[in-house]
Copies of this chain bind each other. A is one copy, B any other.
Amino acid sequence: MTLTVGIIGAGRIGKIHLDNLQGIQQVRVKSVSDVAIPHLESWAVEKQIEVLTTNYHDILNDPEIDAVFICSPTNTHATLIKEAAAAGKHIFCEKPVSFTVEETEEALEAVKKAGVKLQVGFNRRFDSNFRKIRQLVQEGQIGNPHLLRITSRDPEPPNVNYVKSSGGLFMDMTIHDFDMARYIMGSEVVEVFAKGAVLVDPAIGEAGDIDTAIITLKFANGALGVIENSRRAAYGYDQRLEVFGDKGAAHADNNRANTVEVSTAEHVSKEKPLYFFLERYTQAYIDEVKEFAASILENKPVMCDGFDGMQAERIAKAARQSLETGAPVKLEQVGHSASIY
């Protein structure tokens, strides 16, 4: 049995998904659509893509296509999800689903009605460190969780133009941490307090965003959590997490390119963390598409669904609101989700 796939949007992340999909025996990537076709032709030949088109409807209307990957800009996601669902395609959509809770809700309703699967691209759920910690929590090895800490720092800030259109730090960067918080704790976030600062680059501040943040979370199970963010860590991509419970704690450190430790007259040193998400989450990107394919082929639930996508967006919204008002924000004040699932 083969899963036939079409990819909508062949930017950096679309190309990564293509490479990873081609490494799965049961998957055939038949079609790719993108607005910038002239630049993609030699690439498409090299990758042996059968159909290259500027019109994504060519993919949605192709009865051979079982599933689509939505890798286009965020402002197109909700519409594409609705159309793909209506066409009966299973959907893998990059995060975030949309910039508004209302749009996301509409998209999820369409998915629900069509009975197709939707996986949202929270790749970090597939990382072996974080997966192990989730497993330890679920097995009760650290007891009831009391505290969660996520340290998440990028090696470089994005282009300021990107910052302007991305929805800001909470929506484009911390959204991964908000999802991770729910994933690890197995409990919903009920309150958010965000404190931000512009310490990395004044241009980010001028663009209306922040580059440094500490966000306090309260969970439905009574536990507390904290996320630390910076847009620029001199030593590279910093992705650590610790959960503390009444039986103990589990801590995930960064990954490094090798385990070598060098001792000299000056100091004892080791490698910096792997540089950025492409290096750090190489295997997670492979595993997320493998598991998406498996969830369709074996008809089992996806590991990260539309509801997960919506909840992360709602927390991001709450964080933004808290930053702006200087007060904690309850999640129930941000959209309403109970009706969906």
Contacts and interface: CB of A to CB of B under 8 A. Distances in A.
Interface string A246-289: 11111111110111111111011111110000000000000000
A146 interface: yes
A297 interface: no
A200 interface: yes
Interface in A233-247: 233-235, 238, 244, 246-247
Given A226-B214, A226-B226, A328-B327, A262 B248 contact: yes
B262 A272 contact: no
B212 A146 contact: yes
Interface of A: 23, 25, 46, 128-129, 131-133, 136, 141-144, 146-147, 149, 151, 153, 193, 195-197, 199-200, 212-214, 216, 218, 222-226, 228, 230, 232-235, 238, 244, 246-255, 257-265, 267-273, 326-328
Given A132-B258, A214-B224, A247-B265, 19 more contacts: A23-B23, A128-B257, A136-B260, A149-B149, A149-B228, A197-B222, A213-B224, A234-B247, A235-B248, A235-B265, A238-B249, A248-B262, A249-B262, A250-B262, A252-B259, A263-B272, A267-B269, A268-B272, A269-B269
5 closest A-B pairs by beta carbon, nearest first, are: A248-B264, A235-B263, A253-B259, A267-B269, A269-B269
